[in-house]
Amino acid sequence: MAEGHKSLNLTLKVWRQAGRNAQGQFKEYTVSNISTEASFLEMMDILNEQLIETADPDGPVAFDHDCREGICGMCSLFINGRAHGPDDDITTCQLHMRKFNDGDKITIEPWRSGGFPIIKDLMVDRTAYDKIMQAGGFVSVSTGGVPDANAIPIPKPDADEAMDAAACIGCGACAATCKNGSAMLFVSAKVSQLALLPQGKAEAARRAKAMVAKMDELGFGNCTNTGACELECPKSVSISHIARLNREFLKANIKD
């Protein structure tokens, strides 16, 4: 191990569940000589190699990952009671083992939300977010050709806020963290990124109603403004977008 890097010996308490309708339970494993410079997902890879080599009857632990760069939002793990683990403004793939101490016991769970049924072990079905987007998170009317960047005057504060909302990666940490299992932060971010721009205003009423209706249909809870979603969002999406979603939804219903 490189000079200055420490190694950790850890106990992992991992949720194992063979399938969506199977009975799940926690199982404990130990891993040794984990570098503090390793990422959390690299540590999970080491665990899985160990389980394969020892022919563990449950096999390797199933978990989601893709880019491992904090972009795709797939690495959805609940670690020691926090979405994406004990650090701020990161996804699980950006969590490093230096955040833990030698001898720690780490509890690793999947997202716990009615809208995200478990597929296997730590993998959950997050297609509910895709269905919400399909309900209205797009522009379908013709807004003409692509104009020059400076042709449509948009106030900079509005453009900045739309870009901040568009930073949402749909990881699901907001719904998994919320005591009500609410997806309002996700939905409001997707509504805001269009509602603030001229191209999105033509379908604003239909969009707000359709996305909220689909969110309710898929079993997500309502928002009670605890702020937990904003606190655990890896992209620091503000709950001020929820206020905008509520206004857009109210205006749509008044217009009807």
User: Do 213 and 151 belong to one domain?
Assistant: yes
Domain that holds residue 71: 7-119
Residue 145 in any domain: the answer is yes
Strands 105-109 and 7-16: parallel
Which pair of tokens denotes residue 67? 């880019």
pLDDT tens sequence across 178-225: 999 999 999 999 999 998 988 888 888 899 999 999 999 999 999 999
Comparing CA positions, the residue from 5, 12, 1, 3 lying closest to residue 103 is 12
Residue 204's CATH number: 1.10.1060.10
| Residue-by-residue pLDDT tens, the chain, 256 positions | 444 568 999 999 999 999 999 999 999 999 999 999 999 999 999 999 999 999 999 999 999 999 999 999 999 999 999 999 999 999 999 999 999 999 999 999 999 998 999 999 999 999 999 999 999 988 887 766 766 656 778 889 999 999 999 999 999 999 999 999 999 999 999 999 998 988 888 888 899 999 999 999 999 999 999 999 999 999 999 999 999 999 999 988 887 7
Residues 6+ apart with CB under 8 A from 252: 204, 205, 206, 208, 209
Which pair of tokens denotes residue 209? 């109603």
- Amino acid occupying residue 161: E
E strand residue ranges, the chain:
7-16, 25-35, 78-79, 82-83, 105-109, 118-120, 123-124
User: Do 84 and 51 belong to one domain?
Assistant: yes
Residue 58's CATH number: 3.10.20.30
